[in-house]
């Protein structure tokens, strides 16, 4: 079993346990941000629906991420299924601008990477 990164306890990448390091560890796991993003964008969803929305996530990973996000108080179970908590929405508020920024980034990258292989 994996340890769930929580602020205060030492995490991968930092012996200090600085909150931001715990956060980066938590979010730096495959699908962590994607799941939160999807939940916030599309609203509460059951496990199965969430899985479909994420298109390619496997149930095992979805389950792991949900456990972690719930323990981190970013996601909770409601009558409607899984949903972002207030804290989760707050975090999403910080992440959401990345959507717009990514488009700008996309242009910069593409203009310098036209016709690349592999």
Partner DNA sequence: CAAAATGCTATCTTTTTCATAGCAAACTCA
Partner DNA sequence: TGAGTTTGCTATGAAAAAGATAGCATTTTG
How far is 26 from 20, CA to CA, in rounded Å?
10
Among 16, 58, 78, 90, binds DNA (CB under 7 A): 58
Restricting to residues 72-111, name those near DNA by CB under 7 A.
Answer: 77, 81
Q: Residue 17, interface with DNA (CB under 7 A)? A: no
Query: What is the full DSSP assignment across 69-86?
Result: HHHTTSEEEETTEEEE-H
Q: Residue 40 CB, nearest distance to a second copy (Å)?
A: 12
80 binds, among DNA, a second copy, none (CB under 5 to 8 A by kind): none
What's the closest the beta carbon of residue 107 comes to DNA, in angstroms? 25
Backbone dihedral angles phi then psi of residue 77, each to the nearest 5 degrees:
-100, 135
Whole-number Å distance between alpha carbons of 64 and 59 = 8
């Amino acid at each position: 079993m994996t340890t769930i990164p929580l602020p205060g306890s030492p995490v991968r990448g930092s012996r200090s346990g600085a909150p931001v390091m715990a956060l980066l560890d938590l979010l730096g796991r495959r699908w962590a941000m994607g799941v939160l993003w999807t939940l916030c964008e599309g609203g509460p969803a059951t496990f199965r629906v969430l899985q479909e929305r994420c298109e390619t996530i496997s149930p095992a990973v979805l389950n792991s991420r949900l456990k972690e996000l719930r323990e981190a108080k970013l996601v909770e179970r409601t009558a409607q299924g899984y949903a972002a908590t207030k804290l989760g929405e707050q975090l999403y508020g910080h992440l959401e601008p990345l959507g717009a920024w990514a488009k700008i980034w996309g242009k910069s990258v593409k203009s310098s990477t036209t016709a690349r292989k592999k």
